[in-house]
Amino acid sequence: MVFERAAHDYDADVHGIPFFRPLGRTLVSAAGVRPGEDVVDLACGRGAVLIPAAEATGPTGSVRAFDLAPTMVALTAADVTARSLPWATVAVADATNPPVEPASADVLLCGMGLFLLPDPAGALARWRGLLRPGGRLAVSVFGAPDPLWSRPDYPLRLATGLGAADRRPGQAILAEGALARAFTAAGFELTRDDLVATDLVFRDVEHWWHWAWGTAVRSMLEKVDNADLPAMIDDLTRWHAPSVDAGGLHWRPTIRIVTATVGAPRG
């Protein structure tokens, strides 16, 4: 499991590139998490959503977080303890079907994880039943990709043989209009569908390479032999040369923030 192998590097501050944590705070804000609410964080990773959600609920509320990677869960649980947030818990479980009682949550959150699930639409349908009437769901996913990084002739794709046919099944949810349709089909009422521009700046390709080991891109990087690494770095450096400025190498993906509510239980 790539996220189990990436756990120690995932969202690590050592590389100086904030990505998941700012997006986590944005998602919690978009969901309007309030003191005293019961929150569930699905595919919690290293706590980018969990921590700000726990801070928002305070000790009168609760946050239950789940992830499928045991090491990710252990490290995040240690972070929760270090921050003295006893009303937040972390456990190993499949985000698609978490061990949560029906109609027991005020808010469900899933930061940058829905498209990694094998059946996002099925997950949304199950998640609806976990929310109390009037409950809210907030998710973040990738919107429009940075064109320079997503072309089929991108050197890393060519070197690893990974292309469109190798995309995870759940990534179909990222197609234009697919997410909104899935929300509606699951019985949610959309309240927000916004695009957030991001701009991650790396010193150079090697800086990005080390950072990317702590993301899902790791599954591609692992396919590059150490002997081929210098040539790969050279190829990527030439590829990105037109987009490098005085600040460094830019990656500018768009992030989609979607929120929704549920009404009375279906009869």
pLDDT digits (tens, 9 = 90+) for 225-262: 888 888 988 989 998 888 788 789 999 999 999 999 99
CB atoms within 10 A of CB 86: 11
- In sequence order, the 6+-apart residues with CB closer than 8 A to the CB of 97 are 123, 126
29-33, 95-99, 153-157 — which is least confidently predicted?
Answer: 153-157
CB atoms within 10 A of CB 35: 11
pTM of this prediction exceeds 0.85: yes
Rounded Cα gap, residues 211 and 9, in angstroms: 8
Map 211-228 to HEC letters.
Answer: HHCCCCCHHHHCCCCHHH
Q: Residue 202 above 70 pLDDT?
A: yes
Rounded Cα gap, residues 113 and 255, in angstroms: 12
Q: All domains of the chain, ordered by start, with CATH?
A: 2-146+164-200+252-261 (3.40.50.150)
Query: What is the per-residue pLDDT for 175?
Result: 81
pLDDT digits 0-9 by tens, 77-130: 999 999 999 999 999 999 999 999 999 999 999 999 999 999 999 999 999 999
Q: Residue 264 above 70 pLDDT?
A: no
